[in-house]
Amino acid sequence: MQKRTLGQGLEVSALGFGAMGMSHGYGPGPDRDANIALLRAAVDRGVTLFDTAEVYGPYVNEELVGEALAPVRDQVVIATKFGFAIDGQGGRDVDSRPEHIRQVADASLKRLRTDRIDLFYQHRVDPDVPIEDVAGTVKELIEAGKVGHFGMSEAAVATVRRAHAVQPVTAVQNEYSLWWRGPEAELIPACAELGIGLVPFSPLGRGFLTGKMDADTTFAPGDMRAGLPRFDAEARRANQALVDLLTSVAAGKGATVAQIALAWLLARQPWIVPIPGTRRLERLDENLGAAAVDLTAADIERIETAAAAIEVHGARYPEHMERMTNR
């Protein structure tokens, strides 16, 4: 597996592993033993960046990742997140008060079976807590040896800049793919300027960019996609044009649709590290195969020209979720 470097010299595999879907967001999945076996298979294949969060489950995803990676702890980079008010006390959706950040760090360390969190993201910005206080608290955790690096997720560029001035940000995690290119306007230029890595989540459009889904696809109980506007049947029908584009490119490269979608991301910048998730070994191997797909300048130009003529339909989040982003 090729390596890439995020901000502050943090070296990771070119493709990471997003563990969320193993226990959160997509309905019932494989049992615990199967998930642990898959995580360890990813390690065997050279994956070193593993992404989880306390809110996934909640809590059980961190426990799963901790158990799976304990035997190889020093070979991997574990990323987790703070910032949600999971118990909902006080009517808060998010909670990045310093005392809460410290509590989450200690609890996550136990669930992850480790003595340090390699990359600690603020999951969503808390508008009631100055970002300087958040960054300062993470800085203290870094100085205490409990955390290695500071990350942010779905934050506005101005907020990232303010945080970075207090504690250098190693990575920003945002949704980014051919069907959500919002980071290109401001975030990616800012990351280039500040030396911050970008870690795209949902790099395969929550499965849509694999070519395995269409307007007739139904979702299992508990699958979050059933409540996302972009996965409305009409939106999926309209967005099929993007999959058709990837399919045509894939045919000429001897690759799969998913591999072209991931290879396009890898070609954007050398400090972009996508974290596709999966529950199946064959999909893990398919995803990792994207690192070997060579998209030429002509391939990129073809994708860009065709994609520019395709209007992506449907909001990526319901309004209440969208309000938590870009602030």
Catalytic residue ranges: 56
Q: Mapping DSSP to helix (H, G, I), strand (E, B) and coil, where does residue 49 land?
A: strand
Strands 3-5 and 11-13: antiparallel
Nearest of 80, 20, 81, 72 to residue 47 by alpha carbon: 72
CA-CA distance, 77 to 69, in Å (whole number)? 10
User: Rg of the Cα trace of the chain?
Assistant: 19
Q: What are phi and psi of 99, to 5 degrees?
A: -65, -35
Which residues in the chain belong to E strands, given as ranges?
Answer: 3-5, 11-13, 17-18, 49-51, 77-82, 117-122, 147-153, 169-175, 197-201
CB 110 within 8 A of CB 101: no
